[in-house]
Amino acid sequence: MSYINANKVLPTELLEEVQKYVCGGLLYIPQKDNSRVQWGSSTDTKKMLAKRNEEICKLRKNGMSIQELMEAYHLSYDSIRRVLYKKL
C-alpha cells in the first residue's frame, strides 16, 4: 500500500476538518465492504492451487502415499490431508 498526500486528493474544507482530529499523523481509510475483492481474484494463485489440489487427489487415487505426496509437493501431513478430505 502506498501513501497519498491528502493535499492532492481531498478538498480543502475536508482536509481542514480531518486535521482537527489527526494533524501530521498517518490515517488509514478502510475500503467500503462492498468494494473488497475476493482473495486470489487479482492473480492466478487461486487457480494454480486448485489445479495443484486436483493433481494431489488424482495421484492419491492412483496409489501414491501421503508421505510421497508430502515430499513431492513440500507440504505437511495435515496440509495433504486437508486437500484430500476437502475434495472427497
Residue-wise burial string across 23-34, b where 16 or more C-beta atoms lie within 10 A, e elsewhere: eeeeeeeeeeee
pTM for this model (two decimals): 0.56
Q: Which residues contact 73 (CB under 8 A, 6 or more apart)?
A: 52, 56, 80
Q: Which residues contact 15 (CB under 8 A, 6 or more apart)?
A: 6, 7
* pLDDT single digits (tens) 27-73: 888 877 776 677 777 788 889 999 999 999 999 999 999 999 999 99
* pLDDT single digits (tens) 24-40: 888 888 877 776 677 77
Listed by start position, the domains of the chain span 6-32, 45-87
